């Protein structure tokens, strides 16, 4: 009995500690939901890409046809997701899949799953659409519906302090409309509807021009933690967020750091490039190390913030996405990636390691080229055609008449003219003999 209690306690502690060690963190607006209610989630993580098409609601292991209404936006490196849940109770799984994310310097593609049980409750929960707002004009609206019973609501738009009140009848949808002046500065605001908070992202400038999103983005968007004296190895990604090819991207840093590569010749839209970063931290009396990694292209600069607290106590070291480098040598390939054999090719960059060239990606079996086979077939066909050609040419030559045949033929014609054919009288010949 005591043993089972101990195991249960350890399991609960593990669950409590698990979110802090995962590369992706997901927080929901509520602990439990009922069907048709609006689920809201805040997702933080170093995703290579993430859209609403990567987020699914599963029921009993199968993709449910709902929610039809859902959305996702990325604001200041944080993802906001909402979905109007299916109108059916049961066990569901919130799943992120078919995308990559960075975990301790490695790209992971494992699905992320969180289980839920949706049950009907005799409380006035709301169905709200949308679950966040990114207005493209100076006004927006939100649809609300009470899932159980009639209820009164008060909605407040934080940016303008505009207040709306409504009396909702069960399952009857109503609309809340808000507006804001054109000169309001870009900001994150919210609409509070009873105990729900709907994020509102005001992203337009006073002159009506939409704020431009960066063409380049570092993944992760910052490096921080607690370090001590030594050399530290990081893997970071630089992603082209625009819709045009970017060329001759120069990488630099104001830290004592090594970047490999330090130039990217070409980065296509939605493409990411792996960058190996080594930061050297000498002995110092300072308690903080700060700086930035800079990517420069087309006279524009994009930076990755680096901010570490320094300590002399190695037990206090706390940093993610990093690998300490031995001061007396290079890293082992087991810490960097994989050693590919002769029959394998590397899917990413190759760097030096203690064991030699090391693949920082995965090793895949080299596909045998069919060029040699195709060339052999073509040469064989040409050879066969050549043989056939010379064969018929030789046969044609054999059919040509030799001088002896020509003399014999002319002799036979002369004899025929002189003696005539058998059964016919001979003809008189008055012509001169031809030369043979």
User: Are 110 and 60 part of one and the same domain?
Assistant: yes
User: Would 132 be classed as within a structural domain?
Assistant: no
pLDDT digits (tens, 9 = 90+) for 19-31: 333 468 899 988 8
Q: What is the rounded average pLDDT of the residues 238-247?
A: 85
User: Would 370 be classed as within a structural domain?
Assistant: no
What is the domain count for the chain?
Answer: 3
pLDDT digits (tens, 9 = 90+) for 253-264: 999 888 888 899
Q: What is the rounded average pLDDT of the residues 133-148?
A: 90
The Cα–Cα gap between 289 and 406 comes to: 107
User: Would 188 be classed as within a structural domain?
Assistant: yes
User: Are 161 and 103 part of one and the same domain?
Assistant: no
Q: What is the rounded average pLDDT of the residues 295-310?
A: 88
- What was the pLDDT predicted at 420? 58
DSSP state of 104: T
Q: Residue 116 maps to which CATH number? A: 2.60.40.1930
User: Are 28 and 108 part of one and the same domain?
Assistant: yes
- What was the pLDDT predicted at 69? 85
User: Would 6 be classed as within a structural domain?
Assistant: no
Helix locations, 290-353, DSSP H: 333-336
User: Are 32 and 90 part of one and the same domain?
Assistant: yes
User: Are 156 and 109 part of one and the same domain?
Assistant: no
User: Are 114 and 40 part of one and the same domain?
Assistant: yes
User: Would 245 be classed as within a structural domain?
Assistant: yes
Of 104, 121, 138, the residue at which a domain comes to its end is 121
For residue 343, pLDDT over 50 is answered with yes
DSSP state of 137: S
Which conformational region is residue 104 in: left (phi greater than 0), alpha (psi within -120 to 50 degrees), or beta? left
Higher-confidence position of 406 and 130: 130
User: Are 234 and 190 part of one and the same domain?
Assistant: no
**Chain-centre distance of CA 251, in angstroms?**
22
- What was the pLDDT predicted at 200? 93
- What was the pLDDT predicted at 391? 72
* Cα angle value 343/340/363 (rounded, 5°): 90
Percent of the chain past pLDDT 70, that is, above it, reads: 73
**pLDDT band, very low/low/confident/very high, at 119 (cuts 50, 70, 90):** confident
Please check whether residue 273 is in contact with residue 264, taking contact to mean a CB–CB distance below 8 angstroms: yes
Residues 6+ apart with CB under 8 A from 307: 222, 223, 224, 288, 289, 290
Across the chain, what does the average pLDDT equal? 78
Please check whether residue 237 is in contact with residue 275, taking contact to mean a CB–CB distance below 8 angstroms: yes
CB atoms within 10 A of CB 239: 20
Of 121, 137, 156, the residue at which a domain comes to its end is 121
CA-nearest of 175, 138, 176 to 155 is 176
User: Are 151 and 253 part of one and the same domain?
Assistant: no
- What was the pLDDT predicted at 402? 59
The Cα–Cα gap between 315 and 356 comes to: 32
For residue 330, pLDDT over 80 is answered with no
Of 329, 360, 391, the residue at which a domain comes to its end is 329
For residue 190, pLDDT over 80 is answered with yes
User: Would 102 be classed as within a structural domain?
Assistant: yes
User: Are 206 and 303 part of one and the same domain?
Assistant: no
Percent of the chain past pLDDT 90, that is, above it, reads: 15
- What was the pLDDT predicted at 7? 40
Higher-confidence position of 368 and 380: 380
Sign of CA dihedral 23, 28, 31, 36: negative
The Cα–Cα gap between 35 and 117 comes to: 10
Length of the chain measured in residues: 436
User: Are 269 and 311 part of one and the same domain?
Assistant: yes
Which range among 116-125, 146-155, 197-206 has the greatest average pLDDT? 146-155
User: Are 194 and 222 part of one and the same domain?
Assistant: no
User: Would 73 be classed as within a structural domain?
Assistant: yes
The Cα–Cα gap between 260 and 251 comes to: 9
Q: What is the rounded average pLDDT of the residues 184-199?
A: 89
Q: Residue 227 is part of which domain span?
A: 216-329
CB atoms within 10 A of CB 177: 10
User: Would 207 be classed as within a structural domain?
Assistant: yes
């Amino acid at each position: 009995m005591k043993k089972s209690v101990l195991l249960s306690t350890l399991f609960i502690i593990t669950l409590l500690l698990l979110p802090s060690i995962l590369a992706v963190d997901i927080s929901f607006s509520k602990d439990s939901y009922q069907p048709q209610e609006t689920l809201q989630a805040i997702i933080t993580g170093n995703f290579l890409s993430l859209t609403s098409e990567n987020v699914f609601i599963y029921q009993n292991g199968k993709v449910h046809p709902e929610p039809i209404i859902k959305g996702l936006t990325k604001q200041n490196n944080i993802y906001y997701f909402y979905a109007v849940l299916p109108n059916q109770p049961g066990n569901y799984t919130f799943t992120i899949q078919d995308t990559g994310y960075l975990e301790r310097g490695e790209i992971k593609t494992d699905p992320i799953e969180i289980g839920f049980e949706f049950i009907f409750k005799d409380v006035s929960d709301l169905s709200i659409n949308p679950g966040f707002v990114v207005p493209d004009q100076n006004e927006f609206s939100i649809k609300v519906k009470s899932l159980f019973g009639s209820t009164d609501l008060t909605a407040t738009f934080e940016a303008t302090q505009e207040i709306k009140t409504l009396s909702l009848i069960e399952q009857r949808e109503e609309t809340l409309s808000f507006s804001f002046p054109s000169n309001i500065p870009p900001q994150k605001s919210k609409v509070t509807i009873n105990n729900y908070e709907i994020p509102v992202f005001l992203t337009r400038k006073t002159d009506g021009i939409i704020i431009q999103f960066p063409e380049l983005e570092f993944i992760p968007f910052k490096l921080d933690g607690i370090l001590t004296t030594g050399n530290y190895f990081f893997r970071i990604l630089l992603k082209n967020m625009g819709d045009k090819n970017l060329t001759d991207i120069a990488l630099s840093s104001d830290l004592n750091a090594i970047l490999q590569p330090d130039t990217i010749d070409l980065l296509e839209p939605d493409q990411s490039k792996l960058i190996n970063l080594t930061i050297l931290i000498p002995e110092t009396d300072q308690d903080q190390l700060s700086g930035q990694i800079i990517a420069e292209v087309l006279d524009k600069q994009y930076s990755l913030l680096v901010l570490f607290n320094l300590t002399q106590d190695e037990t206090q070291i706390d940093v993610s996405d990093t690998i300490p480098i031995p001061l007396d040598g290079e890293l082992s390939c087991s810490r960097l990636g994989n050693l590919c054999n002769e029959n394998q090719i590397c899917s990413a960059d190759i760097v030096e390691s203690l064991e030699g060239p090391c693949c920082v990606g995965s090793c895949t079996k080299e596909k045998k080229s069919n060029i040699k086979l195709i060339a052999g077939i073509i040469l064989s066909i040409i050879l066969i055609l050549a043989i056939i050609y010379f064969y018929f040419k030789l046969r044609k030559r054999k059919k040509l008449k030799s001088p002896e045949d020509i003399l014999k033929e002319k002799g036979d014609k002369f004899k025929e003219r002189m003696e005539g054919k058998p059964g016919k009288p001979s003809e008189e010949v008055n012509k001169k003999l031809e030369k043979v």
